[in-house]
Amino acid sequence: MRTLLLTGPGGAGTSTLAAATAVRAAAAGTRTLLLTRPGPRPAGLDGVPGLAVASVSPLAAAESLWTSAGDALGAVPGLTPPPPTSVVPLPGSAELALLARLARAAADDEADTVVVDAGPLEAGTALVGLPGALRWWLDQALPTRVRVLGAVRTAAVRSGAASRGPVDAVLDALPPLEAALDRLPLDDPAATEVRLVAVPRAGAVPALRRAVTALALHGQQPVAVLARVLPDGGRGEWWAVRAAEQDAALAALAELAPLRRVTESAREPAEAAALAALLSSGDGVAPAAALAPSVDRAEGVRRLVLPLPWAERAGLDLTRWQDDLVVTVAGTRRSVRLDSLLRRCVVTGGALADAGTARAQLEVSFTPDPQLWPADLLAAEGSTP
């Protein structure tokens, strides 16, 4: 399943261009599913051959999850859970609901292409990082030693030596949840294409650069910027000033990803043909490469390099937690699992090279920890205990 994720600043027209992208995908002959957020949707989507549209409601998703967890909650002594219709969704549940709907589409093979209206930039980048964040929380709540004890308990329940309880319901839910997360490679550009939507004005550029940095932290980068541009033929002083601002913003946006111009129209599209006409038939995009950490070695020192285009030193934080390197930048955070050799090293330095540019990258130096490395391996690394 191919996923096309569109996100942009509020008011940039993300929902309209997500609908246009879905209509074009369906017209190309692929089974297409458009996932939208609650609220008014663009006109002209009904009856398009090969296109299904689903509005993803956080409230409905919360009620469904509560219903599926009813048996486990009812098994807790003294707990009287409320009915699903009384559940209050947590903040951030909109992204969880979209993720759950994507997992269902993948499991049921609903479509060849899924177009996601991911909403504002903060929500879109949060959605990309959500599978990794959920895996982190699962690892914290249910580390290996707890899972081993859980397997022993499951065997005891099956043999009749122990009675079933809420813990067993949690353990039963774990494999399907992890399988669902494995089907959602939102951080893999080969499976998920991120397209940024923008109105080319000066104020939009910093927000979009910050979004590109946040996406890079999770291994993603946009394949295109869809810019809503003014039509040709305008006259007058206002138009000249606005056009000059647009040209400057377009030049800056073109540095983030390949630029695709979408000419503004006087009114919202009212039918599928008008939606499709927003995007040129030649607006195909080339796949983006994954921005994965790399490791190099020199003179007994290992260096982990993480590409973070447009990252600034302000707001960048780096910590080490057990076997993970935790990076905070552009308002988002990722825990990067270190390889087996780096786990036996200590962090000796970190720097952001080429800050504020497309070439920005985080460079973290490691040296072998003598207490964890055998002497002969230290000698091979060029270090001494």
pLDDT band at 300 (very low <50, low <70, confident <90, very high): confident
Cα separation of 184 and 105, whole Å? Answer: 10
**Is there a contact between 257 and 216 (Cβ–Cβ < 8 Å)?**
no
The domains of the chain, with CATH numbers, are 2-277 (3.40.50.300), 294-381 (2.60.40.790)
Q: Which residue has the tokens 């040709």?
A: 232
**From its phi and psi, is residue 300 left (phi > 0), alpha (psi between -120 and 50) or beta?**
left
User: How high is the pLDDT of residue 384?
Assistant: 47
Cα separation of 105 and 109, whole Å? Answer: 6
pLDDT band at 363 (very low <50, low <70, confident <90, very high): very high
Position 48 pLDDT exceeds 50: yes
Q: Which residue has the tokens 């893999």?
A: 188
Cα separation of 328 and 356, whole Å? Answer: 16
User: How high is the pLDDT of residue 379?
Assistant: 56
pLDDT band at 188 (very low <50, low <70, confident <90, very high): very high
In tens, the pLDDT along 24-45 reads: 999 999 999 999 988 888 888 9
pTM of the model: 0.87
Cα separation of 65 and 84, whole Å? Answer: 9
pLDDT band at 340 (very low <50, low <70, confident <90, very high): confident
E strand segments, the chain:
2-7, 32-36, 51-55, 113-117, 192-198, 224-229, 259-263, 294-298, 301-307, 317-321, 324-329, 332-337, 345-353, 361-368
Of the listed ranges 58-62, 160-164, 292-296, the one predicted with least confidence: 160-164
Of the listed ranges 93-107, 192-206, 371-385, the one predicted with least confidence: 371-385
The mean predicted confidence, pLDDT, of the chain is 86
**Is there a contact between 293 and 227 (Cβ–Cβ < 8 Å)?**
no
